[in-house]
Amino acid sequence: MTRIAILDDYQRRALDMADWASLPGAEVVSFAQALAGPALARALADFDVVVAMRERTAFTAELIAQLPRLRLIASTGLRNAAIDLEACRRAGITVTGARGASHGLAATAETAWALILALHKRLLPSHLATTQGRWQPELALPLQGRVLGLVGLGNVGLHMARVGQAFGMQVIAWSPHLTDERAAQAGVSRVDKQELFAAADAVSLHLVLSAETAGVVGAAELAAMRPQAFLVNTARAGLVDEAALIDALAAGRIGGAGLDVFWQEPLPAAHALCTLPNVVLTPHLGYATEENLSAFYRNVVRGIRLWMDGGAPQLLA
């Protein structure tokens, strides 16, 4: 029997979203709770296949060494920087990827806009005040005429630019390899990084996390931001220096932050971010739509079936 573990099934929906019964001789177990440390190794010790949800769980060389039965890691998404691919190769473990829905990237941009709007329109303090009988505790901010700074102008960044332009915002962009030609095609202005952080009323991050982009937003970039400006991150937490951001928020040096990704997920309730009044926090919802997760799991099942049949599923690079 092939034992398959599905990680991070918080809504307990994974088993209903794909035809796991089509995998011959397989026993499928879904984990709704977050697993880490020694508990993770113990939980996965008797499984041949692990289905990893994006980059939520780190498969380090140390963890892999504790899982001698493991033969396949089936990751949702086509990138997963949390998996030590070289350690997997040494251990003879195949690592596959699975596509999500065609509009998965648009869903991430929609989450970014939800955070931008929540910050500008003071949705959370207004909701809380209204339920407590207090009226208009804060003034809202307009979007029209303000500056949207995009750090990254890939597929998600382009979607962000179009919506920002529809709101009547001036859109500027920077990334390590952005060209004037690509920026002009999107109708945005390419600026250098320092200028973007100094000029933008809202900075939204849309870079792939890599050795080049890790910590691309640090103390210097945050210090350059306007006192009322907002930082929004729906990409990867590692793009931002965590301590520098918390320090800037706690001191009120920036207006606030909207975060959908965190350095530790799930985010502990005792985390410093949870004590700050100038943040809007969502639990990594950018990709977590019914359609996207269903597509992920269906494609994971196809990949596992191919692997079981000796075929060639899509491998992570």
The amino acid sitting at 38 is: P
> Which long-range contacts (C-beta less than 8 Å, at least 24 apart) are formed by 170-176?
170/145, 170/146, 171/147, 172/147, 172/148, 172/196, 172/199, 172/200, 173/149, 174/149, 174/150, 175/151, 175/207, 176/212, 176/213
Q: List CB contacts of 238: < 8 A, sequence separation 6 or more.
A: 209, 214, 215, 263
Burial classification of residue 127, based on how many CB atoms lie within 10 Å of its CB (0-12 exposed, 13-18 middle, 19 or more buried):
exposed
**Token pair for 111:** 């989450």
Q: List CB contacts of 274: < 8 A, sequence separation 6 or more.
A: 267, 268, 281
d(CA 92, CA 56): 22
Query: What residues are paired with 74 via a beta bridge?
Result: 51, 96
Calculate helix-pair angle for 123-131, 104-120, nearest 10 degrees.
60
Q: How many CB atoms lie within 10 A of CB 95?
A: 20
Output phi, psi for 76, to 5 deg.
Answer: -75, 140
Cα separations in angstroms, 94 against 44, 70, 303, 315: 16, 9, 11, 8
Tell me the catalytic residues: 236, 265, 284
- Coil/strand/helix, residue 261: coil
